[in-house]
Structures are given as structure tokens and as C-alpha cells.
Amino acid sequence: MPQKEENKTAFIGFWQGLLDDWMAVLTRPNIETYIRLKERATSPKIVLNLALLGLVIGLYVLTIQPPAFIQTDSLLLDLGRLIFYTEADFFILSLILFVIAGLLGGTGGFVEHSYLLSLITAPLGLVIVAFLFVANKLGLTLAAIMNPLSSIGITTIFIVLFGLYAFLLLLFALEAAHEMESHQVIYTIGAVLGSWGILRVIAMFAAGEDNIITQESAFLAEEWARGTLQQAILGHLWMVAFSVFIAVVIGVVMGVLITMPPKRPSVSHLFFLIPLGVFFLIWAAPKGWLGMGIADPIMEISDTLDIGLTRAAKGFFGPLLSLLSAIVRKPAAVGMIGVILTVILYALLLAGESASELTLYIAGIILTIPSIALFGVFIGPFSIGAFNAVVALTLYAQLPILRNTYTGIKEVKPEIVEAGRGMGMTEFQLLRNVKIPIATPVIMAGVRVSVVMLVGIAAIASYIGNDTLGDYIFHGIQRVQPLRYYAGAITVAVFALSMDYFLGWLQNRLTPEGLKGRR
Amino acid sequence: MIKLEHVTKIYPGTTSPAVDDLSFTVPTGEICTIVGPSGCGKTTTMKMVNRLIEPTDGEIYVLNERGEMQNVLEMDPIILRRNIGYVIQQIGLFPHRTILQNMGTVPKLLEWDNTRIRSRAEELLDMMNMPHEFLDRYPHELSGGQRQRIGVARAMASDPPVMLMDEPFGAIDPINRNLLQNEFLRLQQEIKKTILFVTHDIDEAIKMGDKIAILNANGQLEQYDSPAKILSEPANEFIEDFVGADRTLKQLNLIRVEEVMDKKPFLLQSTQSVEEALQVMDEEGQDYAYVVDSDRRLQGYVSRKDLKEKSGWIDEYTTTAATSLPITMNLRDALSEMLMVDYSTICVVDNRDRVRGTVNTAMVQEALMETHSSGKREEV
Ligand SMILES: Nc1ncnc2c1ncn2[C@@H]1O[C@H](COP(=O)(O)OP(=O)(O)O)[C@@H](O)[C@H]1O
Ligand SMILES: [Mg+2]
């Protein structure tokens, strides 16, 4: 009698324990919970968790959607088979995850690992089945539910949130089971998904399936073979590289100027009259303001250069030469920009730090102008084409650089500057040997932001007539060819990512050794 | 030599001067400490010498290597600064440059060639008792004390005759600070720079300074004198308060045991027989005696009680002495050592552990009485 009593309590205790674990997972989803639950892992509990899920799935499948593959007429046998499938699927998946986690440095045992996974799978699985059950009763198809434009499309949000929640739980479970770092867990899941994806794509091509992925890659291959893709990539690359180069020069100079103390005008500043005069001449002469005698030779030089550059514009440097020719073709515009820039730089030289707030404020405002609008505004003075694009892109790109140069230099510790000054460095030596090297990582971060931003904006520049990857997007939209605009979007994204990666490497290279180990 | 004449600084936008009509002269090869309450204008005074701050009024002269007095206000500040060593509390080492490059900052500005810079840097590391491996390290790879040494070494790189030091040891823990102070004083014996040394700590000012300039909160000079004079003859109540009630004790800082010890102490040789020893002790009326070997190295001490009715050699009955004092120790430290052991007389030894004399509290007291009455310790 007491024996039986004891068994009964043990039985109740077992179920209570299992229920407790479920509740713990669902209500307190954090690492500590999982680490605690790990201690209570036993094989029977795993099997039971999955059996429960399998049972519910079985009931759902058999009552709601009796599928064709159920052949036996014994309900119990079918149920048993479905439970078995559920268990088997779970253990296979769990094993794959376990092996990959082990390869990536996981240390947990298979039972603990599987138990934690089953604690997620079972309750969440039940929720999904319940959801499907309700949807089925209401006569909804999966397509309708997932369509964000349909009336019940709002469910999509919940489904996405639910998926994220499940993913988070999976992260916790793996982290707890294997005592891994978060990034190792991400790699593990990534490896599983990645290898599945690769296998799937291989299978797709092997079977000669006709779907969006195969079609898109065929389209890209075709464009590549015709050479148009390379041309667009090169055009894009040079557009970005040229604008960023100018932007770095202007942005760094301006950023430095607004960290310096204000200056009084002095005789040596007359030097500024040289660029001012030259640019003014280039501006005014072609307009005929100074008489035809000066206008003609300048236009002649401009034409000669343009013709030479256009003729030479082939191969890898082709797009760059085209850009340059677009610039020499507009001497008046170059002169005007030169005059404005000279005046701004001199004003900043005099105002120094007292202009920093205003400058950064204006820079911030310009950044908020939509690029399409800016291109549009510049059509007036510069008409359409590469010149307009370069001006707009340069304007955008130098803002993050300007801002980061300013902050980078301002962040140099005052005692370091004082020590340098106290040892007899001139202001220029301080800047070149101390402030700028120490600010380099911050400045480079600004360049990185600029470049990635420009890769995107350069695509839009195709709207005012430039050969960039944006062509694919705009033409695709005009001609209603999804393959074409997907191609543009994909290549631009890959372009931006690889530029970011390259600049990250460059940033690391340019950071002075002594600044690297410090935190 | 550094000479300030009626130097005044009024910061723009303020009415009361930060430094008010300051005049004093630091003789060549001496350390002058500037001390005073926080915000009294110490840093301002120092920075006017290398023109990081321009004086509102007054003249400042510095003796250059060619022995000419130069008016710093008439010099190019860049040239001036390259010829004046400069050390600040926060050190300000360049984090992106190696120790070699840091130390080579001024030499590089003076366009020395690289081999010369390197050998000078090695020489400086030797002076600072630091290994040459440090040359290729970065500042963040050094401890605080090591960084501060490099900061001092960097200021000395081009061997400038004049150095400015603004609380150079201020950010270092007391034990390391003491160490750095002693090291620096030892170094100064060799390099004999003319140094303006700012500190807010009167003890440091007394310890480091050949001269002390004490400023009040209004940036006026209250007294400029040698440490001994300032301790024994404070010019006014402000100085008395600033120096503190324990100024008599502080004077002990300035006297070394060597100056007060009994230079012909009663000693026994470890090779003497017990009989002989007892006899000598009777003659001298001593109950205890220190025992030395043939090289005068301290072996320990014997007491008459231990020797009584014994025979053989005294080294069998010698007890090791708990403490001896180095000959260069100052009286303040010596006194605290003496108060911690229970024998009245302590041996003073040189750096090779040879007994040079003995000292007891009575001698310390006597020395104090003497400085107090004469007020001129330099002449002792
Ligand atoms: N750049 C400055 N502008 C205005 N007042 C200053 C400036 N630098 C220091 N002061 C003022 O001058 C006085 C002396 O400063 P400082 O020489 O740094 O003092 P200390 O080094 O003795 O602590 C202080 O009252 C301080 O507030
Ligand atoms: Mg100060």
C-alpha cells in the first residue's frame, strides 16, 4: 500500500515537474532558466514531450485534413505512426544541431541539449497546431493569412514575432546547453540554415526547376556575358570612388578648420586670392563676362581635353575618364564651385571653432535632403549627367567625414595636445603628427559611412542619366521586369557590403598600432 | 637660471589677477618648488615661462646654454619651448607612438638623425633604470609609474638646461611617488637642471626644493626661501598655517642621520674573546655593544648579561640586530624607525652594510634644538 502511494506521488511529481519546466520556459525565457532546467534533463522527458506534440499533430491531421498517405483504417496505428514521425524528425534535427554545435566548440551532452530543444519545440508546436486548427475551422488558407494586404494579414506580424520569439528561445537553449558564446550559437544555427540553403539551391538547379532564383541567376549570367553588368559596376565604382576622394579632402579640411581657434585676417591670407582669382576666371570667362578674347581660349582648352578624355574612355578606367570629361566640359560650373568653396574655406579658417556648431548644423540639414530632390535642384545649374551626380554625391559624402573629423580631433585628450604644444610643436605639426593620427579611426569610420551611403545614392544618380547599377533598377521598374530590378538591388547590396568590408580592413590598417590594444 | 620680474597675469574676462606681481630667481642647477592652495596660480606661473600662457605684465628671463640671459617674451615661442623640458601631471604621452618615438619628440623637432635619437633614448632609459625593450612598446603597455618616468625622460631628451614640471608625481600612489621623488633627486645630482617644480603638497615641496615659492590664494608670493628657512622662520601667519603645526618635525626631513650620528661609536670585534669584551665594556661603562667583523660589517650586538661567566669568542653570543639605518636617511624617517624598536641606540650603515656610526633619540633632539635656536641649518 505505501509502495503504491509512493509510486503515485512520484508519478504526479513527474508530471508536475514537466509542467513546471514548460511554464518556466514560456514565462521566464532567459539563460538562467535554461541552465537550471538543464540539470533536470532525462531521456524519458524528451520522448514524452515529443510524444505529446506528435499526438496533437496526429489528432489535427487525422481529424481536420485526413491526407492521402494514411492508409490503415486503425486510428490508433495512424496516431502511433505520426507520433513516431514527430519523434524521429525531432531527433534527427536535434542531432544535426548537436553535431554542428560540437564542431563549433559546444560542450553540452546530447540529452541536455535535446531536452532543452524539446522544451521549446513541444509548447511552441502546440501553439502552431492550435493556430492552424482555428484557421482551418475558419476556412482560411495559408496564403491568405500570410498576405499582408488581405484583411487578416495583420496576423503576419504575430507570425513574425512568434518566429523571432522561437528563434530567441533557441539561442538561449543552445547557449545554455553548450555553455557557448552567443556568436557561436549564431554560427551554429547559421551553419545549419546555410547548409540547408546550399543543398536546396543545388537541388533546385540539378532538377532544372524554374523559379525566381534560377531565373535571376540566368538573367545575371546573361547580362555578365554581354558585358553590360560589368560596365554598370565599373560606372558605379568610379562614381563612388571619385566623389568620396574629393569628399575626403574637403571634409577633412573643413573638419579640421572648425576645431581651430578663430584667427584674425593677416597678410599671409592674401594667398587665398590665388585660387579665388583662378576659379573666378574659369567661371567668368566662358560666360563671356570678360569678353570673348578670354572666353574662347578657355573653351578651346575645355573642348580639347573633353575630346581627348572621351576618346580614351575605355576599359577599367573608362568610366573615370568619362567623369573627368563631364567635368572639363563645364568650366563655368567648376569655376563657380571653386569660388564658393574657396570663400567657405577661408570663412572657416577665420571663424574656426566658433563656426563649428553652425557648420555641423548645416551639414546635418543637407543630409536630410532626399537625394532625388538634390539631383533635381542641381539640374538647374549643372543640367543632367555625371557632373550633377558628382557634385551631389560629394556634397553628401563629405558630411559624415566632416562630422567625424571634428569629433575625432575634439576627442583627443587635452593633455596630449598640451604636451605636444609644450614641447614646441607648431600647430600644423600638432595636427599632422598628433591630432589627425589619433583621430584616424574616427575619421575612417566617417569615410566608411559615406561610402556605403554613396553606393546607395549613386544608384539613384542613374535617374539623372548616369551609367550605374541604378540603371537596372530604374529600367526594370519602367519596363515592369522584376528580374532586372532585382538584379540592380542585389548587386547594389553586395557592392555596399563588400565596400564596407574592404573599408573595415582599411580602417584597421590605418589605425596606428598603439591605439589598437587600448580600450 | 630662471628669473621672474613683476610678472602678472589677468585672464581675459576676469578682474583679479591669477598671478600678481611675482618676482623671484631660480639659481642655475637648483630646483624651485612652487606651492600653494589649489587655484593660486601655480600652473599659470609655470606656463608663462614657456609662453603657453602670455603674461599680462612683467618680464621673464631664462639662461640659455650659451650662458646668455634671454627675455622669453622676445623669443619665438616654438624655439623657446623646444629648449625647455616640460612635464605635466597627466603625462600626455602620445598613445599612437612608441616609447622611442615619444622620447624622440623634441630631438625630432630639432632634426637630430635617427641613430642619435635612439642612442639618446637608450641613455635616458638607463638613467631611469628601465630596460631598453621599452623603446618599442606603446604607452598603454606600461604601468603608471613607468609612464611617468618616460614623461620625465621625454622632457630631458634634448638635454635642455631648464625644466618645468607641473605636479609630475601628483597622480601616482604614495609609495611609488616616494620612489620617483628619490630617483629624481638622485638624478638631479648628476644632471643639475634648473627646475621649476609645481606641487600642491608642502611635504613634496620641502623634499624636492632647494628653494620654495609659496603663493597665496590671490596669486601673490608670500615667501621665497630655502626649505629650512621657511620651516624655521616662516615670514608670516599664512606661511605658518600653510606649512602646518608640525613644521618642527618637518625640519627633520632636511637633516640626514649622517649629520647627527656619533661617528666614533663603541664597537666590538667578532674575533674578540668574551673576557676581553667584558673588560672593555666595564671600562667604557656599557651594558650593550654592537659587534662588527674585520670589515666593519654589522654582525649584531651582545649584552653584558649574556657574556657574564661565559668563555670563548663573542660571536657565539651575538644576537642579530633588528634594524640599522642607511646613512642617507633623513631624521624624520630615522626617528620613526627608532621609535619602533626597543633599543636606545641604532647603527648607521653605508650602502655596503659597514657601520659608520650610531644614533639615538637624544642626538635627534639635540639636532632639533640646534636648528631651532640658530635658524640656519645650512651652516650646521
Ligand atoms: N584659461 C583660463 N581662463 C580664465 N581663468 C583661468 C584660466 N586658467 C586658469 N584660470 C584661473 O586662474 C587661477 C589660477 O589657475 P592655475 O594656475 O591653474 O592654478 P593652480 O595650478 O595653482 O591650481 C584659477 O582661479 C583659475 O580658475
Ligand atoms: Mg595646476
Interface pTM, i.e. ipTM: 0.79
- List the B298-303 sheet strands across, edge first: B267-269, B288-292, B298-303
The per-residue b/e assignment along A152-175, b for 16 or more CB within 10 angstroms, e otherwise, is: eeebeeeeeeeeeebeebbbbbbb
Chain centre to alpha carbon of residue A239: 20
CB contact under 8 A, A416 and B93: yes
Nearest 5°: phi and psi at B84?
A: -130, 125
Whole-angstrom CA distances from B376 to B28, B32, B246 are 22, 19, 18
Using DSSP, how many helices (H) and how many strands (E) does chain A show? 23, 0
pLDDT of residue B117: 95
In contact, B329 and B258? CB cutoff 8 Å: no
CB contact under 8 A, B52 and A512: no
Is B81 in CB contact (< 8 Å) with chain A? yes
Owner of C-alpha cell 555553455: A179
- Parse chain A into domains and list their residue ranges: 2-209, 226-263+309-330+341-512
- B103-151 pLDDT, tens digit per residue, is 999 999 999 999 999 999 999 999 888 999 999 999 999 988 899 999 9
CB contact under 8 A, B96 and A437: yes
User: What is the CB < 6 Å shell around ligand 1?
Assistant: B 11, 14, 18, 38-44
C-alpha cell at B175: 609609495
**H or E stretch at B34:** strand B31-35
**H or E stretch at A116:** helix A110-137
Distance from CA of B44 to the nearest CA of A (A): 13
Angle at A234 between CA A231 and CA A240, to 5 degrees: 140
Is B288 in CB contact (< 8 Å) with chain A? no
CB contact under 8 A, A422 and B88: yes
Nearest CA to ligand 1 atom 5: B11
pLDDT in tens, chain A (519 residues): 456 666 777 778 778 888 888 888 878 878 888 888 888 888 888 888 888 888 888 888 777 655 555 566 677 888 888 888 888 989 988 998 898 888 888 888 888 889 888 888 888 888 888 888 888 777 777 677 767 677 777 777 888 888 888 888 888 888 888 888 888 888 888 888 888 888 888 888 888 878 888 888 888 999 899 988 888 899 899 999 999 999 999 999 999 999 999 989 888 889 999 999 999 988 888 777 777 677 777 788 888 888 888 887 788 888 888 888 888 888 888 899 999 999 999 999 999 999 999 999 998 888 888 888 888 888 887 778 788 888 889 998 988 999 999 999 999 999 999 999 999 999 999 999 999 999 999 999 999 999 999 999 888 888 887 778 888 888 888 888 888 888 889 999 999 999 999 999 998 888 888 888 654
Residue B215 CA: nearest ligand 1 atom is: 22
Cα dihedral across residues A365, A366, A372, A376: positive or negative: positive
pLDDT of residue B376: 44
Residues 153-192 of B with CB under 8 A from A: 154-155, 164
Quick one: closest CA in A to B49, which residue?
A422
Nearest-10 Cα torsion for A300, A303, A304, A305? 120
Q: Domains in chain B, start-ordered, CATH in brackets?
A: 2-254 (3.40.50.300), 258-370 (3.10.580.10)
Closest CA relative to residue A322, chosen from A239, A250, A444 = A239
Distance from CA of A512 to the nearest CA of B (A): 6
Quick one: closest CA in A to B156, which residue?
A423
Chain A residue numbers with beta carbons less than 8 Å from the beta carbon of B79 are 424
End-to-end CA distance of chain A, in Å? 69
Residues 363-422 of A with CB under 8 A from B: 413, 415-422
pLDDT of residue B213: 95
C-alpha cell at A408: 575625432
Count of Cβ atoms closer than 10 Å to residue B327 Cβ: 18
CA of B327 to the centre of ligand 2 (A): 35
Chain B residue numbers with beta carbons less than 8 Å from the beta carbon of A434 are 94
Nearest CA to ligand 1 atom 11: B18
Chain centre to alpha carbon of residue A172: 25
Distance CA B327, CA B257 (A): 6
CA of A352 to the centre of ligand 1 (A): 24
Is A262 in CB contact (< 8 Å) with chain B? no
Closest CA relative to residue A511, chosen from A452, A445, A414 = A445
C-alpha cell at B101: 618615438
In contact, B217 and B37? CB cutoff 8 Å: yes
Q: DSSP assignment of A211-247, as one string?
A: SHHHHHHHHHHHHHHHTHHHHHHHHHHHHHHHHHHHH
Residue B13 CA: nearest ligand 1 atom is: 4
Distance CA A370, CA A400 (A): 16
**Secondary structure (3-state) at A192:** helix
Closest CA relative to residue A335, chosen from A382, A282, A294, A276 = A282
Distance CA A425, CA B97 (A): 15
Q: Considering the entire predicted model, what is its pTM?
A: 0.76
Count of Cβ atoms closer than 10 Å to residue A208 Cβ: 7
Give the pairing of strands B221-225 and B267-269: unpaired
Distance CA A302, CA A282 (A): 10
For B90, the closest of A415, A420, A515 (CB atoms) is A415
Nearest-10 Cα torsion for B207, B93, A432, A398? -130
Rg (alpha carbons) of chain A, rounded to whole number = 33
CB contact under 8 A, B52 and A515: no
pLDDT of residue A69: 56
pLDDT of residue B375: 47
C-alpha cell at A82: 505520426
Beta-bridge partners for B301: B290, B319
In contact, A449 and A414? CB cutoff 8 Å: no
Choose which residue among B8, B15, B33, B43 to substitute to test ligand 1 binding: the one with the highest number of ligand atoms within 8 A of its C-beta. Answer: B43
Beta-bridge partners for B354: B297
For B105, the closest of A423, A437, A438 (CB atoms) is A423
Nearest CA to ligand 1 atom 4: B11
CA of A377 to the centre of ligand 2 (A): 55
Residue range A226-263+309-330+341-512, CATH number:
1.10.3720.10
C-alpha cell at B351: 650602502
Rg (alpha carbons) of chain B, rounded to whole number = 26
C-alpha cell at B326: 642607511
CB contact under 8 A, B109 and A425: yes
Owner of C-alpha cell 635617427: B114
Mean pLDDT within B324-333 = 85
Interface test with B, best of A409, A412, A413, A423 (most B CBs within 10 A): A423
The top-scoring range by mean pLDDT among A406-420, B60-74, B221-235 is A406-420
Choose which residue among B14, B44, B54 to substitute to test ligand 1 binding: the one with the highest number of ligand atoms within 8 A of its C-beta. Answer: B44
CA of B71 to the centre of ligand 2 (A): 24
Is B79 in CB contact (< 8 Å) with chain A? yes
CB contact under 8 A, A518 and B95: yes
Choose which residue among B11, B14, B42, B214 to substitute to test ligand 1 binding: the one with the highest number of ligand atoms within 8 A of its C-beta. Answer: B11
Distance CA A278, CA A272 (A): 10
Nearest 5°: phi and psi at B321?
A: -80, 135
C-alpha cell at A286: 566662358
pLDDT of residue A158: 81
Mean pLDDT within B147-156 = 93
Helix axes A155-178, A75-103, angle to 10 degrees: 60
**Secondary structure (3-state) at A294:** helix
In contact, B199 and B170? CB cutoff 8 Å: yes
Distance CA A396, CA A380 (A): 18
Quick one: closest CA in B to A417, which residue?
B92
C-alpha cell at B304: 653584558
Ligand closest to the CA atom of residue B34: 1
In contact, A116 and A37? CB cutoff 8 Å: yes
Mean pLDDT within B58-81 = 91
pLDDT of residue A73: 66
Is A425 in CB contact (< 8 Å) with chain B? yes
Mean pLDDT of chain B: 89
In contact, B58 and B7? CB cutoff 8 Å: yes
Owner of C-alpha cell 519546466: A21
Whole-angstrom CA distances from A203 to A92, A210, B343 are 20, 12, 96
Q: DSSP assignment of A405-443, as one string?
A: HHHHHHTS-HHHHHHHHHTT--HHHIIIIIIHHHHHHHH
C-alpha cell at A277: 582669382
Nearest CA to ligand 1 atom 25: B39
**Secondary structure (3-state) at B22:** strand
CB contact under 8 A, A514 and B79: no
CB contact under 8 A, B94 and A425: no
pLDDT of residue A46: 87
Distance CA B378, CA B26 (A): 18
